[in-house]
Structure 1
Amino acid sequence: MQVEHDAKWIKRVSALSKLYFRPTFLGAEHLDASKPAMYVGNHTIYGVLDAPMIIDYLFNEHKVAVVSLADHSHFYLPVWRSIVKKFGAVDGVREYARTLMAQGYSILVFPGGGREVLKRKGEAYQLIWKERYGFLKLAQEFGYDIVPFAALGGDEVFDLGFDANHIVQNKYFQKLLKIPKLGKLLRHGDVIPSLPSHLIPKRIPFYFQFMPRQSLKQIENMEQLSAFRLQIQQAIYYSLDDLKELRNGRADKL
């Protein structure tokens, strides 16, 4: 399977984001290009600001060849599909991921997927992973460690002017979702976006924290896998809190 990864293009695009958001990357000691891993973290709103910087940093700074598993919706539009592929992203189909892992690629996963990207008011930095365990089962199958990471900044660059909950929670819309085909098409309301009150993102510094590798070798059953996933989520939440403290400390010194 071919990955359309344009490292030079990624670096140019990411350079603009770096100038604007001034990202800080922490935890470089946990990155190892010689041993593929699955990088798992939180996705910030709209999902187009954090991922390019992460992919650029991993590959151009640490030679980690990472492939991002993207939501199916990215591949419906021809022009946008080409842009997404340039970042080394592939449709998040399990068989595609399995093929790439067999080739030795590291994998970038946002378990919250499209729903975590299309956040609503009050959901900043919430992990909306539902009952997804497939990414962990794949990591276990190929002996990949999990490298958790936290991304801070992206959920604060837009103020929401329209909250998707106004539509999703409407009783008439709920009746429409009960129509099987329509409910499936709209993913039970998950694809309804909230809209920002402004188009230009706020210039807020971004922070990324990579955490120590965690092995799944000791996982023997679903109960243990569930506990492992919870452990990963808690690590991300704790890291987000630490990054907020770091950011506040830096702001106090200005």
Structure 2
Amino acid sequence: MGLILHHKSLGRVFEVRCLHIPVNDRTPFEGLLQTVENSIKYEHAMSPNRPIYLVGDSFGGCLALSVAAPTSFAKTPLQPILPVLEAMPSELHVTVPYLLSFVMGDPLKMAMVSVENNLSPPETLQKLSDSLTSMLPLLSELADIIPRDTLFWKLKLLKSGAAYTNSRLHAVQAEVLLLASGNDNLLPSGEEADKLFKSLKKCRVRYFKDNGHTLLLEDGVNLLSVIKGANMYRRGRQQDPVTDYIPPTLSEFKKTFDEDYKLLHLALSPVMLSTLKNGKIVRGLAGVPDQGPVLFVGYHALLGIEVSPLYEEFLRERRTAVRGMAHPILFGGKHESSRQELSRFDAIAMYGGLPVTPINMYRLFERNQFVLLYPGGVREALHRKGEAYKLFWPDQPEFVRMAARFGVTIIPFGFVGEDDVLELVADYNDQKNIPYLREWIESINREAQRVRDTVKGEDGNQDIYLPALLPKVPGRFYYLFGKPIEMKSMDNVVRDRKSANKVYFHIKSEVESLMSYLKRKREEDPYRSIAQRAVYQASWGASAEVPTFEP
């Protein structure tokens, strides 16, 4: 039942099976392990190519057959009180669930599960109070659900399971996604994550610093979202970033854009403009085709800060996920730590991002997808001082030829606004002059997959680094999707490189022209300043669309 909050979402993409151990069952740890093993063998025999995921929570971690995760039972607060529990008179056993509740989890986060997000502060407080109050009788019922003898047996079972799995850690070959709690009063989950991360060959961690031991019963944690964000969902033997992708659910969308990114997007108040076939510029995405395949080609702003509002707008207005082609380093997990929290990189994978390769683009076009491509790549997204809005496109028109082959509609787009939000204070050139940072940059790039080794000059310089930035009082983001370029019946582009180059440089010129237009027109926007936008939203409501310049 510890997975009950996740049954619905997991059930959309998995066949969910739960191991039930009856209250009076006294099967030893090795016997339980055999039961799980037999089930795994049976399922594998029925569907040899279908992956099997084992989810183990707390004691269940010992039963994850291929994982063989070590436990920290020797450090648990329950260890010293085991003799006390054994000596406790049976009539006092009713108090045990209350004692355990203090170490099992965060009661506030557990109570918040049933509280809706759209309530007013007084309503939220009342609902939370009711939820907490309703939990108290349930604690007393635990004494009947978990009899005294069963509790003792479970604790001994955990002790034997810990010893068993600790001795087999070296044999683990499976992929492991470890969810660790930072506020776990029952087990030192953070320390255990550190050890597992070093010991297991294919281990990735997601660290929830504010959650307790009952992580999967607490508000704000969605197991399927974590699996998708960590790029560890697959349908077959090998991961396929094209066919394994699961579009975000409504609840995931609300969590991301109505909670996590809400204040940021509200402060930026993005302006989305598109161009109709007759050349007229309109507010919104009316100029974007309804059907794919469509390829969006544009400028990659500093750290890719333009991507999130773009994804949100297409999901809100078109109910369409845009598949963004990104550098492979964003999906490997090689540079993660044992205290890796959910990050912006998780959102990239969850909202359609995939490694930029010709075969991935080919297969997306085959499936009539909406695809996002930045020819400038890392060099553009990690540009230096004074290079804002400068394109670093190599002389490689292959995407144009592929688009012509599939009859893709190419839409060039421009973006401006990064200079109103961030100031670059220490760029690549600055950091290369600092010994420690220079060594770190060289180490990262030595291990990272190279994308443009064959391209000479700055267009091919795809070195990865982390720019030092200072935030500014936020201005506004502006997007303009240009006039669609139909690639149907352009067989000459497929066969002739010269024709492909001509289209390629036309697209590049269009992107530069669109950005010039936006830089010029934003000077006419009466709501470019956050102060004016705040006044407007105070008058018309936070959800009101803030006006902008006349196109």
TM over 0.5: yes
Q: Deviations over 1:71-101 (max 9, x none)?
A: 1111122655533211111111222222222
Q: CA, structure 1 residues 168+107, in 2 after alignment: closer, same or farther (shift >3 Å)?
A: same
- Residue 515 of structure 2 corresponds to residue 240 of structure 1: yes
Task: Choose the corresponding residue for 2:270, options 23, 33, 54.
Answer: 23
Q: Secondary structure at the match of 2:302?
A: coil
CA contact (8 A) 2:321 2:352 kept: no
The letter of the residue matching 1:163 is D
Match of 1:6 in 2: 248
Q: Secondary structure at the match of 1:230?
A: helix
Match of 1:34 in 2: 291
- Residue 499 of structure 2 corresponds to residue 250 of structure 1: no
Task: Choose the corresponding residue for 2:475, options 204, 208, 225.
Answer: 204
Task: Choose the corresponding residue for 1:64, options 320, 329, 333.
Answer: 320
CA contact (8 A) 1:11 1:60 kept: no
Q: Secondary structure at the match of 1:125?
A: coil
Q: CA, structure 1 residues 162+25, in 2 after alignment: closer, same or farther (shift >3 Å)?
A: same
Q: CA, structure 1 residues 245+37, in 2 after alignment: closer, same or farther (shift >3 Å)?
A: same
Further displaced range: 59-68 or 121-130 = 59-68
Further displaced range: 128-137 or 231-240 = 128-137
- Residue 499 of structure 2 corresponds to residue 224 of structure 1: yes
Task: Choose the corresponding residue for 1:165, options 429, 437, 440.
Answer: 429
The letter of the residue matching 1:229 is Y
CA contact (8 A) 2:296 2:411 kept: yes
Match of 1:213 in 2: 484
CA contact (8 A) 1:152 1:244 kept: yes
Q: How many residues matched?
A: 245
CA distance in 2, matches of 1:105, 1:192: 29
Q: Residue 44 of structure 1: CA displacement?
A: 0.2
In percent, how many aligned pairs have the same letter?
21
Q: Residue 194 of structure 1: CA displacement?
A: 5.8
Provide the TM-score with structure 2 as the length reference: 0.41
CA contact (8 A) 2:291 2:368 kept: no
Aligned Cα root-mean-square deviation (Å): 3.0
- Residue 351 of structure 2 corresponds to residue 87 of structure 1: yes
CA distance in 2, matches of 1:65, 1:194: 28
Q: CA, structure 1 residues 159+138, in 2 after alignment: closer, same or farther (shift >3 Å)?
A: same
Task: Choose the corresponding residue for 1:151, options 409, 412, 415.
Answer: 415
Q: CA, structure 1 residues 133+7, in 2 after alignment: closer, same or farther (shift >3 Å)?
A: farther
CA distance in 1, matches of 2:527, 2:315: 33
CA contact (8 A) 1:45 1:155 kept: no
Q: CA, structure 1 residues 4+112, in 2 after alignment: closer, same or farther (shift >3 Å)?
A: farther
The letter of the residue matching 1:159 is E
Q: CA, structure 1 residues 203+141, in 2 after alignment: closer, same or farther (shift >3 Å)?
A: same
Task: Choose the corresponding residue for 1:111, options 372, 375, 392.
Answer: 375
Match of 1:51 in 2: 307
CA distance in 2, matches of 1:252, 1:96: 40
Structure possessing the higher radius of gyration over alpha carbons: 2
Q: Secondary structure at the match of 1:244?
A: helix
Q: CA, structure 1 residues 52+31, in 2 after alignment: closer, same or farther (shift >3 Å)?
A: same
CA distance in 2, matches of 1:185, 1:75: 11
Q: Residue 215 of structure 1: CA displacement?
A: 2.2
Q: Deviations over 1:138-169 (max 9, x none)?
A: 21221101011111112442212112124669
The letter of the residue matching 2:480 is Q
CA distance in 1, matches of 2:432, 2:462: 8
Q: Secondary structure at the match of 2:486?
A: coil
Q: Secondary structure at the match of 2:385?
A: coil
**Structure 1 unaligned regions, length at least 5:** none
Q: CA, structure 1 residues 196+202, in 2 after alignment: closer, same or farther (shift >3 Å)?
A: farther
The letter of the residue matching 1:238 is S
CA distance in 2, matches of 1:83, 1:64: 16
Q: CA, structure 1 residues 144+14, in 2 after alignment: closer, same or farther (shift >3 Å)?
A: farther
The letter of the residue matching 2:506 is Q
Q: Deviations over 1:184-229 (max 9, x none)?
A: 867675324362342x454120000011111233325111111111
Q: Secondary structure at the match of 1:159?
A: strand
Q: Deviations over 1:169-190 (max 9, x none)?
A: 99xx8xxx9xxx9598676753
CA contact (8 A) 2:322 2:371 kept: yes
Q: Deviations over 1:26-51 (max 9, x none)?
A: 1123212224311111110011x211
Further displaced range: 206-215 or 220-229 = 220-229
CA distance in 1, matches of 2:446, 2:375: 24
CA contact (8 A) 1:146 1:214 kept: yes
CA contact (8 A) 1:111 1:135 kept: no
CA contact (8 A) 1:33 1:64 kept: no
- Point out which structure has higher relative CO (alpha carbons under 8 A, 6+ apart): 1
